[in-house]
Amino acid sequence: MSATKTSKHNDSAQHQQQQQRRRGDADDEHAQEDWRSAAADLAASLGIDPLTSTEAQHRRVFHLYLPVYFWLELLLRQSRGSAASPSSSSSSKSSSSSSTRGVAAGVPTANTHPRSSGGDVSKRARARSNSGSNKEPPVVVGINAPQGCGKTTIVSEMQRMLENAGHHCVVMSIDDFYLTGTEQDALAARFPTNPLLQVRGNAGTHDLALALRTIRALTRRDDGTSDGDSRDLRPSPPSSAEDPAAQDCVRVPRYDKSARGGKGDRAPEGEWSVVSTPPDVLLLEGWMLGFEALPDDSPLLLSAAEADGGTSDGLGAVNTFLEDYQSLHDEVDAWLVLKTAEPEMVFEWRAEAERRMREAGRPGMSDEEVRDFCSRYMPAYRAYLPGLYGRCRAADAGVDESTDGDRLGQPTQGDGGRDDVVQESLGSRKLTSGVVRARQTLVIEVGRDRNPVL
């Protein structure tokens, strides 16, 4: 090649690099503005004055709410196939690495729910679309968080922010699918010496068939494997049998915890929520969501049952019921886990909430009643949280750790614009192909003050 041609080639390459840098700088400015705007929106919604905010408030906004929100945004983009193409996956990490991380379109993934049952978000979402609807099926996100840690607030804030961003978000709790009062009484009578099944909460106290029908109706998928037909969740009678919009309506059960003197009961069907527009994202939260049944001779099972002076038979029945919950977990595409190093903090968190209720003039449990109430759940926490957290760690095994996913922070400058900010701040990864993919399981540890551990 002549000197003149070489010079022109070098000039062209330098020009392209300069253009890429300028585009990267512009994208990065947009990404930083997105974070600032979202932070201001959160502060206003939570009643936080940015000028006088405490360190704890700062941590909660920048290390919990914002990372979760942008992670959800990234999941939504990738579920629509906008973050990667099939060809891009060929040059990424090995299949074993991408199987523990990938949620972008075209990336072959193994099942990577905390119990290894998830899979590629975009592929699973497309596979659900059997109803003929033109709208993409929603991303289903399971949320595991201890009782009293603030999951209700974070879920409601995520729903508000996603809705404001143009994403229809439906929120459900596993509590919505408790057995009816009559069914719960029958269960308690069936296990009269088992304190863990005398009240709602543990595995075995939920109507899993109703939960599956509801999720499959919202995701427009009913493969006939659940008991009943999701069509029985359509409002009846519809406003018009020929109205296509009416056919998209789904009734979502609600549970009234104040019914029957506080023992609780399913709300009448006339009080259920009606989802009239197919959602883009479905958030399903619960304190024991993602728990996996253990072998009968598991030391964890035995020690957890004995820790509170109980018997292995009590937790053993719960463990047997828990085996059926895998069908519910199989419906989930991605998982958010709010981790706690000390499950016993649930006692303190619940007692604090009940004291605030009493101070506000509302009925609330005494500290002694709280301890009795929460003690029914401690055996399950002790038995199943270690496995859940271990599966979360395994989901990251063998992947280049460019960030510490359990310590999520504010965005940092990068050369890839918005996706680079997401990668560096949210525990997602930029693979060798340059494609950013969200974690299928995002873990954030919270401390005694309910704020992220840094």
pLDDT at 162: 97
Quote the DSSP letter at residue 21.
H
Specify the amino acid at residue 51: L
Whether 12 contacts 4, CB under 8 Å: no
d(Cα 115, Cα 105) in Å, to the nearest integer? Answer: 22
10-445: CATH topology: Rossmann fold (3.40.50)
pLDDT at 72: 95
d(Cα 303, Cα 301) in Å, to the nearest integer? Answer: 6
Specify the amino acid at residue 122: S
d(Cα 318, Cα 203) in Å, to the nearest integer? Answer: 5
Tokens 């300069």 belong to which residue?
Answer: 18
d(Cα 397, Cα 108) in Å, to the nearest integer? Answer: 17
Specify the amino acid at residue 63: H
d(Cα 436, Cα 156) in Å, to the nearest integer? Answer: 27
3-state secondary structure of 127: helix
pLDDT at 158: 97
What distances in angstroms separate CA 429 from CA 44, 74, 97, 234, one per listed residue? 31, 12, 11, 40
pLDDT at 123: 52
Listed in sequence order, the residues at least 6 apart from 3 whose beta carbon sits closer than 8 Å to its beta carbon are none
- Find the angle CA(411)-CA(416)-CA(419) to the nearest 5 degrees: 60
pLDDT at 18: 63
Q: How many residues are listed for the chain in this entry?
A: 454
Dmax (CA) for the chain in angstroms is: 92
Residue 182: is it exposed, middle or buried by C-beta count within 10 angstroms (0-12/13-18/19+)?
exposed
Q: In terms of Cα–Cα distance, which of 130, 142, 133, 155 is closest to 249?
A: 133
Q: What is the 3-state secondary structure (H, E, C) of 30-58?
A: HHHHHHHHHHHHHHHHHCCCCCCCCHHHH
3-state secondary structure of 252: strand
pLDDT at 266: 96
Ranges of residues in the chain with a pLDDT under 50 are 83-119, 129-132, 225-226, 236-242, 311-312, 398-437
3-state secondary structure of 231: helix
pLDDT at 104: 25
